[in-house]
Structure 1
Amino acid sequence: MKQIILIFALASLSFHSKAQDSVSILFIGNSYTGYNSLPTIVNDIAISLGDQVTFDSHTPGGQTFFSHATNVTANNKIKSQPWDFVVLQAQSQEPAFSDAQVNSQTLPFAIQLADSIYANNFCSEALFFMTWGRENGDPQWAPISTFDGMNGRLRNAYMRFADSVDGAVSPVGSAWKNIRDTYPSINLYAGDGSHPSYAGSYLAACTFYASTFRKSPVGASFIGTLDPVTAERLQIAAATTVLDSLEQWNLRPISEHTQAEFSSSVVGLMANFTNMSTKATNYIWDFGDGSPISTDENPSYTYAADGTYSVQLIAESPCDSDTIFSEITIGSIGLNELDLKIQVASFGNGEFELTTQSNLLGVSVRDASGKLMSANVDMNATTARVNLSELSTGVYFVSVRTEKGHSTLRLLR
């Protein structure tokens, strides 16, 4: 996951954020996806909210990632069109097993599947279906012998799969835990304590709607066989699980597929840059001192003089491009972004509070083009109140300098 502090701060649950009105999704899974026809429920929810899903699926029972990766039908479906999303679901137990077993028997085939997806269309999103723990866990291994134990290992494994391939996660298992903790009377399981009941499939479908459209399923008129109260509770659980943590699940807008990101360290006059961009193929660096640009992936650069410089990275791909700025200070006190920790609190309407662990020296705000913005910043020793309410909606880069280091925050107005 991301190693420096670049934070998307959401002013509130973005239940009505702008997103595409139609998506294409290929579901590759097994009976957890096939039960109750999950893809159809996703489409029915979307239609009831004025959106549309073009979908296909391949869901033979008991399939593992190895089975999917070596299956002719699954691979032909991947190649059948340039999908917006290809959903990947492993066999229900395999991601929860020991790390050594997952590393040898599951992860390599998750990577192989993602490679096939990107080879067909680099701009497709490999979207991992985080499944849920069994009702009473899996008794064959102590760490997964309870629901919480199994659910936690599944969560961690699917997050690792996504991180390994620059993919994303639809956090159905986390929404599942939300409902179990909050409304234990809602039965999410079929009689075997493993497969989903209709309520379980509906919860999964709401989670996929929120994950792919980046919009809330709350208010969907399609509720299938559920009563309205239960349906609304499932809709809300899916919305809060997904939309409150879009960055955590790596859920990027389709229009912003490529994400620029880097960290830096300074020794004397030399700066070393570590590129952590997502789904990028080309890089353009401007070191902020008028020198020629660099197209290296992870450049090192020696400045001619001490000073503070605004470094720009443009990350490009066949899908789109993204730009990020970060200030670095060159001199006897080299500032390293990896050393600085900042807490961000959002108060809504573009107002944020930044709390650092050392005394603040300055805070500045730039827009996505790098232009320095006039924002209201109220700063004391270790806390800064940043008010972006008078600026246009969009992404802003907030540069924070302290006695111990420097970091750039990515805030969403």
Structure 2
Amino acid sequence: MLALLCRALAAKASLALAACLVTLHLSAQELPKPKITKPQVEMPLRVLLIGNSYFYYNNSLHNHIKRMLASGNPAPKESDIDYKSATISGASLAHQPVEWLVTPGQLGVKEGFQLVILADGSAAPLSDARRIESRRLIREHAATIRKHGGQVALYMTHAYAAPHRQTKPQNLTATARHYIEAANEIDALVIPVALAFEEAYRQRPNVSLHMTYDGSHPNALGTYLAACVTFSSIYSQPCKGNIYNYFGQFSPEEIAFLQSVSDTVVQRFFNR
């Protein structure tokens, strides 16, 4: 009974989000074009993610990206891959000690990070005041990261879903536009995770990518999709055929669907 109830709730939440997103899909081409359309670091092995609970749910996003890289083609030695994640629950970029985090040696990475992926709080793009503050922080943090020899990528957070009280159809466009414009301003790559969630819900309204109890945090499928998009964006490798499957937690059909969505969105986003 509990399993059936959970599935019913997941389907209800997914349908609600899909209804909100379907019209936005039609206007996706109206978003600003990304200025940076390919990775700025070739095969980065020392990577830091700075964000919040959207990153650390489900065994942490950075672990999944690292495992995809180790399972890719070409694949570096796993011992050469050094991924770190610095997350604070409910945090915005104002809460992150970026200078300390990216100073070589502070997190056990002597040579410093080649790439730092930044995500602001989920509500940062949803009001003028927060957008202005977020853009300021992104500029400051990007300068700090580059001072220490790293490049920057911005992580476009996914939109809220029902039952989250701030779920609105316009949130997706606001979020996507915010991160694209912020990335263009600092000449950084943007990782279009929000657009991949939207595409998955458009193709399959019954799929569940959010935690059903809050409509905010990603569930395991959502984290896997986010990892696919991040992996493909920063390494210019398709996800299709990557053998990493979260240690068998997902079916081959689920893996194929999420990899296909990711590849479609990444190709469309960077080549439009």
Would the TM-score normalized by the shorter structure come out above 0.5?
Answer: yes
Deviation at residue 231 of structure 1 after TM alignment: 1.0
Residues 361-376 of structure 1: pairs in structure 2 closer than 5 A: none
Q: Counterpart amino acid of 2:92?
A: T
Relative contact order (alpha carbons < 8 A, sep ≥ 6): 1 or 2 greater? 2
Query: Counterpart of 2:237?
Result: 215
| SS of residue paired to 1:55 | strand
Query: Counterpart of 2:270?
Result: 246
Q: Would the aligned equivalents of 2:192 and 2:269 in 1 still touch at CA under 8 Å?
A: no
Change (3 A) 1:101 1:45: closer
Residues 14-413 of structure 1: pairs in structure 2 closer than 5 A: 20-21=42-43, 23-36=45-58, 37-50=60-73, 51-52=75-76, 53-68=81-96, 71=97, 74-80=98-104, 81-97=111-127, 99-103=128-132, 105-121=133-149, 124-136=150-162, 139=165, 145-146=167-168, 148-191=169-212, 192-224=214-246, 225-246=249-270
Deviation at residue 159 of structure 1 after TM alignment: 0.8
Distance across 2 between alignment mates of 1:28 and 1:189: 21
Instruction: Name which one, 1 or 2, has greater alpha-carbon Rg.
Output: 1
> Aligned-residue CA RMSD in angstroms?
2.5
Among the aligned pairs, what percent are the same residue?
24
Distance across 2 between alignment mates of 1:193 and 1:88: 22
Distance across 2 between alignment mates of 1:187 and 1:208: 19
TM-score, normalising length from structure 2?
Answer: 0.75
Distance across 1 between alignment mates of 2:152 and 2:54: 18
What CA deviation, in whole Å up to 9, does each residue of 1:42-76 have, x standing for no partner? 111121224244211101111112112xx2xx422
Distance across 2 between alignment mates of 1:199 and 1:151: 19
Deviation at residue 138 of structure 1 after TM alignment: 5.7
Q: Would the aligned equivalents of 2:164 and 2:215 in 1 still touch at CA under 8 Å?
A: no
Deviation at residue 89 of structure 1 after TM alignment: 0.4
Change (3 A) 1:202 1:102: same
Q: Would the aligned equivalents of 2:44 and 2:114 in 1 still touch at CA under 8 Å?
A: no
Deviation at residue 220 of structure 1 after TM alignment: 1.1
Looking at secondary structure, tell me which structure has more helix per residue: 2
Query: Counterpart of 2:5?
Result: none
Distance across 1 between alignment mates of 2:262 and 2:151: 20
Distance across 2 between alignment mates of 1:219 and 1:241: 16
Q: Counterpart amino acid of 2:194?
A: G
Q: Structure 2: 5+ residue runs without aligned partners?
A: 1-31, 105-110
Q: Would the aligned equivalents of 1:215 and 1:243 in 2 still touch at CA under 8 Å?
A: no
Q: Counterpart amino acid of 1:186?
A: V
Distance across 2 between alignment mates of 1:26 and 1:118: 13
Deviation at residue 172 of structure 1 after TM alignment: 0.3
Q: Would the aligned equivalents of 2:160 and 2:216 in 1 still touch at CA under 8 Å?
A: yes
Distance across 1 between alignment mates of 2:144 and 2:244: 34
Deviation at residue 139 of structure 1 after TM alignment: 4.1
Distance across 1 between alignment mates of 2:94 and 2:271: 29
Q: Structure 1: 5+ residue runs without aligned partners?
A: 9-13, 249-413
Deviation at residue 247 of structure 1 after TM alignment: 5.3
Q: Would the aligned equivalents of 1:138 and 1:150 in 2 still touch at CA under 8 Å?
A: no
Query: Counterpart of 1:382?
Result: none
Matched residue pairs, number? 224
